[in-house]
Amino acid sequence: MTGQERSIRIRRILFSLRRFFIFFLMMCFVVTCCMLLFLGQMQRDIGLAEDLPRTVIEQAAKYTFFNILFLSLLCTIVDAIWRRFTVGRPVRRIVRAAENIMQGDFSVRIPPIHGGDHLDGFDIVIDSFNRMAQELSGIETLRTDFISNVSHELKTPLAVIQNYGTLLQQTGLPDEKRLEYAKQLTEAARRLASLITNILKLNKLENQQIFPARQTYDLGEQLCECLLGFEHAWEEKNLDIDTQLAEEVYVNTDAELLSLVWNNLFSNAVKFTDAGGSISLSLKAEGDTAVVQVTDTGCGISPEVGRHIFEKFYQGDPSHAAQGNGLGLALVKRVVDIIGGDISVESSLGKGSTFTVRLRRVVHETVQTPSE
């Protein structure tokens, strides 16, 4: 027997003795009161107490004392049996299930004690425990998938870096090949750095309580600044850029967080649109809502992919997997949730996609320039 089990057994014994002592005091009080009332009534009626010998009274007192002890012991046993089935059994079930969860078994569930409309406190606790176990199971699945996907995504650029690094070590390598291999190395390193950056950002957004640094500013100006950051990329692919931005549409939110949304949406639009295609950006006010739409003529996505597009590492088209790591839109979704907005996507395969972001806008506010 371990020290912990010995300590638990001692506490159980002390608990039983305490309950016996409580029942003993209760019985003493009840029986004493009853006897006093009974003897007082007898004395008033027939004067019996004055004629009783002292030995008879002492003998009756002894019998009464032992009866109290017996009744106290009986009540203690009955209470122990009752508690064993009504309290001890569900507690043991909960403890065993908790131990299984601590050992990593998140599939454990506790059957309810009662059914129908006869639920008691333990049934409520068990239901809450089962829902907690289900949530933990989902979180564990996500964690396992996240680690698996991160490992896979890290291996791909590392393998490219290793392979092209080996090729660059060849003697007599032509300058053209050396330049080509160096470019591939740079691109793989860029992808690796982008992946790690997005992982760190997403981890920070998901595991820390973020308090947005809100300020009021012109949303159209921020959209133009972010879009111009991709000018070199869209010029390389000869993309047609169309903007329709309403003037004086102000929002009160965290400019730095929101810039992550626009940068990821613009990056995806440029990345997945073929050369000679087009990208359109629109901003309009609908009541107290600012509506931003980013539309491209890229490869598009199917309805099935659209339902999972904001999940981490989800990539619906394996042929385009090399162009991203599946974290950008998960990051976008998390940021939009933090600032209290909404994002949706409409897309058709081979025709392109439209991402719509809705934010609460500010009317008649003093304009502040977003901090750099």
Q: Is the domain of 147 the same as that of 242?
A: no
Q: Which residues are paired to 282 by β-bridges? A: 244, 293
Percent of residues in the chain assigned helix, strand, coil, to nearest 5: 65, 15, 25
CATH code, domain with 326? 3.30.565.10
Q: Could you tell me if residue 372 is inside a domain?
A: no
Q: Is the domain of 35 the same as that of 161?
A: no
Which residues are within 8 A (CB) of 164 and not within 5 positions of it... i.e. 6 or more apart?
A: 181, 182, 184, 185, 188
d(CA 306, CA 316): 8
CB-CB contact of 289 with 253 (8 Å): no
Domain interval for residue 18: 3-105
d(CA 34, CA 262): 84
The 3-state DSSP class for residue 148 equals: helix
Q: Is the domain of 220 the same as that of 203?
A: no
Q: Could you tell me if residue 117 is inside a domain?
A: no
Which residue, 105, 120, 145, sits at the end of a domain? Answer: 105
Which residues are within 8 A (CB) of 347 and not within 5 positions of it... i.e. 6 or more apart?
A: 300, 301, 302, 306, 353, 354
Work out the angle at residue 22's Cα, subtended by the Cα atoms of residues 81 and 68, and round it to the nearest 5 degrees. Answer: 85
Report strand pairing: 278-286 vs 240-245: parallel
Q: Is the domain of 247 the same as that of 169?
A: no
- Give the total number of structural domains in the chain: 3
Q: What are phi and psi of 335, to 5 degrees?
A: -65, -45
Q: Could you tell me if residue 159 is inside a domain?
A: yes
On whether the pTM is more than 0.75, the answer is no
Q: Is the domain of 341 the same as that of 287?
A: yes
- DSSP letter (8 states) at residue 309: T
Q: How many residues does the chain have?
A: 372
Q: Is the domain of 259 the same as that of 143?
A: no
pLDDT digits (tens, 9 = 90+) for 291-304: 999 999 988 887 77
Q: Could you tell me if residue 231 is inside a domain?
A: yes
Q: Is the domain of 166 the same as that of 149?
A: yes
Q: Is the domain of 195 the same as that of 220?
A: no
Q: Is the domain of 219 the same as that of 203?
A: no
- Please report, as a single letter, which amino acid is at residue 169: Q
CATH code, domain with 165? 1.10.287.130
Q: Could you tell me if residue 246 is inside a domain?
A: yes
Q: Is the domain of 223 the same as that of 356?
A: yes
d(CA 215, CA 212): 9
- Please report, as a single letter, which amino acid is at residue 356: T
CB-CB contact of 283 with 220 (8 Å): yes
Q: Could you tell me if residue 245 is inside a domain?
A: yes
pLDDT digits (tens, 9 = 90+) for 83-98: 777 777 788 888 888 8
Residue corresponding to tokens 């699945």:
141
- DSSP letter (8 states) at residue 274: P
Written as tens digits, the pLDDT of the chain (372 aa) is 566 667 766 766 776 677 667 767 776 777 766 666 666 555 555 555 455 565 655 666 666 667 767 777 777 777 777 777 777 778 888 888 888 888 888 888 888 776 656 566 777 888 888 888 888 777 776 667 666 666 766 776 788 888 888 888 888 888 888 888 888 888 888 878 877 776 776 666 665 556 777 889 999 999 999 898 888 888 889 999 999 999 889 999 988 888 888 988 998 888 888 888 999 999 999 989 999 999 999 888 877 766 667 765 555 444 444 444 456 787 788 888 888 899 998 888 888 899 999 999 988 644 444 444
Q: Is the domain of 87 the same as that of 199?
A: no
Q: Could you tell me if residue 312 is inside a domain?
A: yes
Q: Could you tell me if residue 83 is inside a domain?
A: yes
Which residue, 150, 181, 207, sits at the end of a domain? Answer: 207
Q: Is the domain of 248 the same as that of 356?
A: yes
Which residue, 158, 185, 207, sits at the end of a domain? Answer: 207
- Residue 31: count other Cβ atoms within 10 Å of its Cβ: 15
CB-CB contact of 202 with 310 (8 Å): no
CA distances from 152 to 35, 149, 370 (A): 84, 5, 38
